[in-house]
Amino acid sequence: MTSAAVVIDSVVGDVAWDTYANSRPESSLYHLHGWRDVIEQTFGHRTIYLAARDGTRIAGILPLTELKSRLFGRMVVSLPFFNYGGICADSESVRTALFDAAVEVTKQAGADFLEVREESAWSGELPRKLSKVSMRLPLPGSAEALWKGLGAKLRNQVQKPRKEGLTAAVGRDELLDDFYRVFAHNMRDLGTPVYSSAFFRNILQRFPDRTWVVVVYKDRLPLAGGFLATFRDRVEIPWASSLREYNRLGPNMLLYWTCLEWACTKGFGVFDFGRSTIGESTFRFKEQWGAQPHQLYWYYWLRDGGPVPQVNPSNPKYRAAINLWQRMPIGLTRVIGPRIVKYIP
């Protein structure tokens, strides 16, 4: 194929889109069409789903979301809020055509930049960010084999919360309120605006066979929670939290072991611990389970050139806001947070 005509999703139905996404080895869960509904219903953002065609045949796809706010500026991202996104394409020429079309969308939107989140490197000289990795652990054929492969120290850390009477449950909507209670509390402690509970409920409803919730309890009190998403042979935990005041009981260790055990039992081959920065505490926590870093590549088109944007909590310009947020009542952060975080990609 030497060229591709890029068309808007209005002429590409969700079934055709997903059929193509499922056919590509580089695709992720977030390439499926249902995320368009989740983003639009939860955040109200405009989504632009581009498809390249070779005649009548789909040859590439690129899901985009436009975010615009006075505080963080205007941007077009594939995909915001998630670790993965980017372009699926039959060839490099198709990928280039889709990226060029995304640049035109960004220009027409008056956005400051385009961000495309990829799992593999592209050729060329586009600006890119290499600060993040995903931590992945190949899973053996059984939970028993995984358990035996853990070091004695790690096994003791998992057994401790059990001895303290902690229990874990895997479910879906029935566990969401307990998960969100922990999640909202932890986000406040981190100084990060929290998503609405509707965000997670919309995901569960849109992907009933691909998403689960895990919660760790002390009696009936939720102490830790995680959200699982599956695609092909991979289980990902994009969101996980625990209550700091109960760290001495080790709820986080039981949470992650429960997730790993469940993934092995269900026959998955890879556990994705999510995104990390090399050397930070979350990176070391995931590394102790045997997870290895997989480089992530975020590519950019920048309207005015300059350095790649840093719209994230590690940016020093947000330090004062983070400190203020950490002192807010949790109930207030649950009201205000969703109105802010919808603009943080």
User: Which residue range is the domain that position 47 belongs to?
Assistant: 5-131+297-311
Give the strand pairing for 270-276 and 234-242.
Answer: parallel
Tell me if 319 is assigned to some domain: no
CA 285, 253, 245 angle in degrees (round to 5)? Answer: 95
87 three-state secondary structure:
coil
Tell me if 290 is assigned to some domain: yes
Residues 168 and 240 in one domain: yes
Where b means 16+ CB within 10 Å and e means fewer, 178-206 reads: bbbbbbbbbbbbebbbbbbbebbbbbbbb
- In which band, very low, low, confident or very high, does the pLDDT at 1 lie, cut at 50, 70 and 90? very low
Distance between CA 159 and CA 117 in Å, rounded?
38
Mind listing the pLDDT tens digit for each residue in 30-52? 999 999 999 999 999 999 999 99
Residues 127 and 24 in one domain: yes
Mind listing the pLDDT tens digit for each residue in 234-249? 999 999 999 999 999 9
Q: How far is CA 277 from CA 82, 187, 294, in A?
A: 15, 18, 11
Helices (H) and strands (E) in the chain, counts: 11, 15
Tell me if 325 is assigned to some domain: no
Q: Which spans in the chain are helix H? A: 14-23, 34-43, 92-108, 143-149, 152-163, 173-190, 197-206, 251-265, 281-287, 319-325, 330-341
CATH code of 98's domain = 3.40.630.30
In the chain, how many domains are there? 2
- In which band, very low, low, confident or very high, does the pLDDT at 2 lie, cut at 50, 70 and 90? very low
